[in-house]
Structure 1
Amino acid sequence: MSLMASPSTVDVEKNNRMEASLYWAAEKGEIQVFMLKVNELRLDQLLTPDNNTILHVHIRASTTDKVFVREILNMCPPLLLQTNAKGETPLHVAARYGHVRIVKSLIKHAKSSDRQQMRDLESAVARDSEATKQMLRMRNKEKDTALHEAVRFRRLEVVRILIKEDPHYSFSANEDGETPLYIAVEGRYGVLVDEILDNCSSPATSGPNGRTVLHAAIIARDKGMTRKLLAKTENLTRKADAWGYIPLHYAALLPVDVDIVKLLLEKDACSAYVQNGKGMTALHIAANSSYVGCREVMKEIILRCPDSCEVVDHEGQNFLHFAVKSSTYEALKVILNHSSLGNYLLNEKDNAGNTPFLGMAANSHWKESILNAFLSHPHVNKMAFNKENKNFLDMVTYYYGFKKKFITGERMKIKYGIRPHLRRAIGEDDEESHRYLPRFLKIMEKSKEIILIVATLIATVTFTAGFMLPGGYVSSKGPLQGAAILRGNTAFQAFVITDTVALGLSISAVLINLVMRTSDDEWKIIGCHVMSWYLTMLALVFMLIAFVTGTYAVLVPSLMLAIATCLVGLLFLCLSFFWTRIVRSVDRFFIYV
């Protein structure tokens, strides 16, 4: 059978099943077993359920025995290219397990198999080259070549052999979009990357999701590998992945060394102007990031491409809008330190007519430092209006914090003369208030019954505890009969006070909740609901303190137990505040996203 004939996978029939004795003989490399039965057996039809041949079985187990491989191929040459159920040739398996001697033996057999039948030496060389390349380029069902397997499992010597035999083949992507070079870069296998770049004339550089090896090097944050790829490859700096991100975008997005950004800009400064699918440049992305190094990335981009600051995204926003949106004060300082750029960008409006100053008002998480930077800058138009005729105070809503609106509003009125509702019809209702009123009412409907129940339970428990005092009462007749036994104990006195406070707060919450149900004014209802919630939360805190102090009062004789009880109770009080902060942080995160 000719080596060049296309091999076919043979179904395992009962009479072709590989017997156990033959399986173990193949695994151990006992060539004599097969030599004795060479006339009885069809070696290419001895298969496992996964269609592995005796050569596949042997290579999976062997590390050095090339004699078995050579002799078996002499007896049955078609085994060289016969594939298993996964489409793998013996070379795929040998490359995966790093069997260098077996890889060499397989290649040597491929070169010599047809040479004996050729009389013309020149034709034999051509045939030799063709046979070897066919084996090296064969792909399994996942479209992997032997080189894919060798790189994936870091088999350096095998990689060198395979590339040497076929240096001009590009070894394109497999079914997952991976090329050997991409696998090496993504896995940060620096030696393998060097081997491929130095010895392959035109290695394929593509990867999954439209990415290239340069994307992979940036995502791996590998400066050395990035430098090598930029030196050895061409036209990768502006290739975008499936999301429209070029390598420089990832360098701006991820906390990479700023030297990587320098390398990319030195190679192709124009990449700073390339926009992703949303119209964002690397400068926009860096300004929108919150990691510490974003400031250095922005400074480097501005230094090399200062006019890239003028590029806006699809919503007409420049990178200062993004700096404000991410509440990154460091990003804001970068632009404010450049007087000409800062003066130009500070009052630029997006498609909705919002300047960066107005855009800050629409965010739920802006910082006081950013507000101060805008208010103290002489060139910021603090009375700017957007296309909806709203200024800064119009855009700061109750939804993003009652305290923030009132404090900021009073400060801006007094110091800067800014007033809300300047361009609204006289007597017109507060549009922003009505915008969020339905949402307030919906949230309130879900929680008001719970608050009433909790407040009632607290009132019941604290009222009961007031008459069932820790330590009991004096029972003996006399002037002190009926008085609390622990009345002189400091912890007991604290218990009585905190229990009384908890009772008063919870009763107040219940009364306000009941009054709320008699009002028709929606804003008064919301105000009562908020007050009832705060009173209930305070009542819970004081009830916990009352429990801790009351328990301590009766456990004083066992001091360690008393202290442990107090610590556990106060620990849960601290954890409650901690959990509340976490919930608020998560809520702000989802609002931002």
Structure 2
Amino acid sequence: MDPKLFDAAAEGNIEPFKELRAPHVELQQIVTKILKDTILHINIKSQKVSTEFVTQILEMCHSLLLQVNAEGDAPLHVAARCGHSTIVQLLIQRAKTEEEEIDLESGLKPEWEMLKMTNYENNTALHEAARQGSDDVVEILTEEGDPDFHYSANNLGETPLYLAAARGYNRIVIQILESCTTAAHEGPNGKTALHEVAIMLYPDTVKKILEKKKSLTKVTDQHGWTPLHYAAYYRRHWHHTEVVELLLECDRSTAYIGDKDRRMTPLHMAAGQGNLEAINSIISNCPDCYELEVDRAAHREPLCLVYESGDRKAVNNQNVSVSYITKYGYSELEKEIQELSKDVGKGNQYPNGVIRIREGTKIEDSPKQDESAEEEKETRASHLVVATLIATVTFAAAFTFPGGYNSEKGQNQGTAI
């Protein structure tokens, strides 16, 4: 492209292009060398984007409306990506007047066809606007587009609904749900839009998705995590409990779903991270979910202690009592807990570790200098026991409320009923 024409397009100067109008000059042939941007692409990308320039150029050469560059971007893709709502509206209105001039095979509304165009990454204009968080553009695209269009996933497995949810653009999520009756919800690695808003802990958005797509509560990602797993695992702000409650009210059965790696349920997730509010919510809604066991990543080993009603003589299946651990420690168990505080799961699905050890907490024994140090050791050991029991993370756990122990002789003697 001639540098003078490039500068004119970027500046929104129409005059040089009027002078070019001749039988041997076609405006659609004037493109950049690498990206094959037309003069319309150039102006929309520039800082001096001009509705007047775009209008006049389309009057001179209407085929530029749908001409794509080397990346498959039509001018609408570029306008949506840049957040130019006035240009987006202008392009759509222009498409409505092009019905007789542009050959559209489907026979549908021309503006709908333009809105459905995908670039070489399989992004529609709505994908681009949702990714950038352009509320005004999304509103125009969804209200002007086909309400029954699916808006499938792009090459990265992202739908517009998922893109908005993953970035916390709540208004866009709600706008898409209200305007697009069949909008797809999928994201990469098996996640859905509900997984993402559960991670972000936005109750209003969670509620809206549940109204439209209730079945998403049971959908698991590649790790076997449901949205409830994520809500129980993360605790970013005070909305945390509300999101957990909403998911449980919609479908309590999700409290019993274990993940793929360790068969951890949402209760295990909440306990391992110390999310007491989530623990209370889950148990109050599903009081029997504490009975579920978890698997070790490589094998099962009954290391857990049974600790109930202050019975410090209770022992685990290796005949180690609570009082022994409190007094002398349990190096093997302590090592387990330390390892579980790291992300040792398959596929890094535990970014905060399986068990969260709060900053400043030490599990290793330290020299006992005085009575306060001894008390600290006992408190730390007690916390270790409770963490092991409540989290029941790598152990074949026997979890119980008051009810007694098994008195029959055999390998299960002494365990909770």
Relative to the length of structure 2, the TM-score reads 0.70
Q: For 1:411-448, what per-residue CA distance to the aligned partner results, in whole angstroms no more than 9, with x for missing partners?
A: xxxxxxxxxxxxxxxxxxxxx9xxxxxxxxxxxxxxxx
User: Which one of 190, 196, 209 corresponds to residue 176 of structure 2?
Assistant: 196
Q: For 1:67 and 1:297, how far apart are their aligned partners in 2? A: 56
**Matched letter for residue 148 of structure 1:** H
Residue number in structure 1 paired with 2:320: 392
Q: Does the alignment pair 1:408 with 2:388? A: no
Structure 1 residue ranges (4+ consecutive) displaced by more than 6 angstroms after TM superposition: none
Alignment of 1:476-491 (within 5 A): none
Residue number in structure 2 paired with 1:61: 46
Q: For 1:251-275, what per-residue CA distance to the aligned partner results, in whole angstroms no more than 9, with x for missing partners?
A: 1111152121111100001111111
Q: For 2:276 and 2:223, how far apart are their aligned partners in 1? A: 24
Q: For 1:221-247, what per-residue CA distance to the aligned partner results, in whole angstroms no more than 9, with x for missing partners?
A: 222222222223221101111111001
User: Which one of 278, 286, 295 corresponds to residue 305 of structure 1?
Assistant: 286
User: Which one of 116, 136, 150 corresponds to residue 137 of structure 1?
Assistant: 116
Whether the 8 Å contact between 2:12 and 2:48 is mirrored in structure 1 is no
Kindly state the Cα deviation for residue 209 of structure 1 after the two structures are TM-superposed. 1.8
Kindly state the Cα deviation for residue 180 of structure 1 after the two structures are TM-superposed. 1.5
**Matched letter for residue 165 of structure 1:** E
Q: For 1:194 and 1:91, how far apart are their aligned partners in 2? A: 22
Residue number in structure 2 paired with 1:552: none
Structure 1 vs Structure 2 CA RMSD = 3.2
Q: For 1:105 and 1:252, how far apart are their aligned partners in 2? A: 46
Q: Does the alignment pair 1:210 with 2:138? A: no
Residue number in structure 1 paired with 2:219: 239
Q: For 1:19 and 1:117, how far apart are their aligned partners in 2? A: 28
Q: Does the alignment pair 1:225 with 2:208? A: no
Q: For 1:208 and 1:80, how far apart are their aligned partners in 2? A: 32
Residue number in structure 2 paired with 1:183: 163
Distance 1:137 1:272, change over 3 A: same
Larger Rg: 1
User: Which one of 256, 259, 263 corresponds to residue 273 of structure 1?
Assistant: 256
Alignment of 1:74-473 (within 5 A): 74-115=59-100, 127=107, 129=109, 131-166=110-145, 167-255=147-235, 257-277=240-260, 278-289=262-273, 291=274, 294-314=275-295, 351-357=300-306, 376-377=310-311, 381-382=314-315, 386=317, 390-392=318-320, 407-408=327-328
Instruction: Find the residue that maps to 2:218 and give its secondary structure.
Output: coil
Q: For 1:159-203, what per-residue CA distance to the aligned partner results, in whole angstroms no more than 9, with x for missing partners?
A: 122111222212122222222222222222222222112211122
Distance 1:207 1:42, change over 3 A: same
Kindly state the Cα deviation for residue 392 of structure 1 after the two structures are TM-superposed. 1.2
Distance 1:29 1:312, change over 3 A: same
**Matched letter for residue 328 of structure 2:** T
Kindly state the Cα deviation for residue 205 of structure 1 after the two structures are TM-superposed. 1.1
**Matched letter for residue 164 of structure 1:** E
Q: For 1:78 and 1:55, how far apart are their aligned partners in 2? A: 11
**Matched letter for residue 190 of structure 1:** N
Whether the 8 Å contact between 2:80 and 2:137 is mirrored in structure 1 is yes
Kindly state the Cα deviation for residue 125 of structure 1 after the two structures are TM-superposed. 12
User: Which one of 3, 14, 17 corresponds to residue 31 of structure 1?
Assistant: 14
Distance 1:116 1:19, change over 3 A: closer
Q: For 1:456-507, what per-residue CA distance to the aligned partner results, in whole angstroms no more than 9, with x for missing partners?
A: xxxxxxxxxxxxxxxxxxxxxxxxxxxxxxxxxxxxxxxxxxxxxxxxxxxx
**May I ask how many residue pairs the two structures share in their alignment?**
325
Distance 1:22 1:86, change over 3 A: same
Distance 1:99 1:300, change over 3 A: closer
Q: For 2:287 and 2:122, how far apart are their aligned partners in 1? A: 46
Aligned identity (percent) is: 38
Instruction: Find the residue that maps to 1:115 and give its secondary structure.
Output: coil
Relative to the length of structure 1, the TM-score reads 0.50
**Matched letter for residue 84 of structure 2:** H
Whether the 8 Å contact between 1:115 and 1:127 is mirrored in structure 2 is no
In structure 1, the gaps of 5 or more residues are 1-17, 119-123, 317-349, 358-372, 397-403, 410-431, 433-533, 535-591
| Larger relative contact order (Cα-Cα within 8 Å, sequence gap ≥ 6) | 2
**Matched letter for residue 206 of structure 1:** E
In structure 2, the gaps of 5 or more residues are 333-366, 368-392, 395-417
Structure with greater proportional helix content: 1
